[in-house]
Amino acid sequence: MILDVRGVSRSFRAIGRPPVVALDDVYLRVPEGDTLGLVGESGSGKSTLLRCVMRLEKPDEGEVLFRGRDALPLRGKGLRAYRRQVQMVFQDPASSLSPRMTVEQLVGEGMLVHRLERSAARRRERVAELLDAVGIPPDAMARHPVSFSGGQLQRIAIARALAVEPSLLVCDEPVSALDVSVQAQVLNLLLRTQARTGLSILFVSHDLAVVKYLCPSIAVLEKGRIVEEASRDKLFQAPRAAYTRALIDAVPNPDPVRPGPGSRPPKPRPGGNDAEGNHE
């Protein structure tokens, strides 16, 4: 297991108010090279869980094991190594990428911070390779985020995360802010990257259609508790929890993003590539 969340609980307390239990004894496992989807409605605790995994929030109880070692007590060098190994992609790329930096700086920053590539020329080469891998032309390097579409920015954010060669990518609603026509392109990029690099992915979304497309295993979070965890096929064919059934019933039909488990990714629309500058 690359990630093994064990018994994580987190409550928020404010004076004069009853405590809010955001996470209640949560167990989750992401196998090496695999993808786990985590779904739940707004307020179910998804972001709190990711914040605990990313070490941005301290659970009241529980462990977050990364390759068998608890990441919560890590300090200094160990924490820096963890922060390189586990990268996050956020919902809104426009606010997660500094508008003042060029694409070259944004994608190359992690290599500098983690001292992976000291030569400026080699760093530039790597940035060009990473941009190529996510379908962004190399002449984008000198440009700033403002000159890109949402889908292109999310590709740049993914290139930035991949630049430090992480083992686990934690995705927090990475396509929710994108047009439906662009969502599949970003999801296909994640699938391709995983096939190429063996990356493990924890993918959080409130959108079951998106999770169904990407994730062979899915866990369902309701009010801070995991109410069901199953393979994609099992979850959609025979959901056990009433909450899962309600989420499935809420998925619009026909699904604009995903034809269904095991099916091929959607083909690009004729003439639809240029707007996002990709080659799917």
Ligand X SMILES: Nc1ncnc2c1ncn2[C@@H]1O[C@H](COP(=O)(O)OP(=O)(O)OP(=O)(O)O)[C@@H](O)[C@H]1O
Residue 135 touching ligand X (CB under 6 A): no
- For residues 189 and 220, which CB has a smaller minimum distance to ligand X in the complex? 220
In the list 34, 36, 45, 213, the residue contacting ligand X (rule: CB under 6 A) is 45
Residue 12 touching ligand X (CB under 6 A): yes
Residue 179 CB, nearest distance to ligand X (Å)? 19
In the list 34, 36, 44, 90, the residue contacting ligand X (rule: CB under 6 A) is 44
Calpha distance 251→209 (Å, rounded): 6
CB 196 within 8 A of CB 225: no
- For residues 48 and 193, which CB has a smaller minimum distance to ligand X in the complex? 48
- For residues 60 and 129, which CB has a smaller minimum distance to ligand X in the complex? 60
- For residues 26 and 184, which CB has a smaller minimum distance to ligand X in the complex? 26
Residue 207 CB, nearest distance to ligand X (Å)? 10
Please choose, out of 45-53, 111-119, 135-143, 148-156, the segment that lies near ligand X by the rule CB under 6 A: 45-53
- For residues 44 and 154, which CB has a smaller minimum distance to ligand X in the complex? 44
In the list 34, 38, 48, 167, the residue contacting ligand X (rule: CB under 6 A) is 48
Residue 20 touching ligand X (CB under 6 A): yes
Residue 43 touching ligand X (CB under 6 A): yes
Pairing of strands 20-30, 225-231: unpaired
Q: How many CB atoms lie within 10 A of CB 193?
A: 19
Residue 40 touching ligand X (CB under 6 A): yes
Binders of ligand X in range 199-218 (CB under 6 A)? 206
How many helices (H) and strands (E) the chain has is answered by 10, 10
DSSP state of 222: E
Residue 225 touching ligand X (CB under 6 A): no
Binding-site size, ligand X (CB under 6 A): 12
Largest CA distance in the chain: 58
Residue 256 touching ligand X (CB under 6 A): no
Three-class secondary structure of residue 22 per DSSP: strand
- Going through the chain in order, the beta strands assigned E by DSSP cover 3-12, 20-30, 35-39, 61-66, 69-70, 86-89, 168-172, 200-205, 217-222, 225-231
- Looking from the CA of 119 toward its CB, the CA atoms found within 13 Å total 4
Q: How many CB atoms lie within 10 A of CB 117?
A: 19
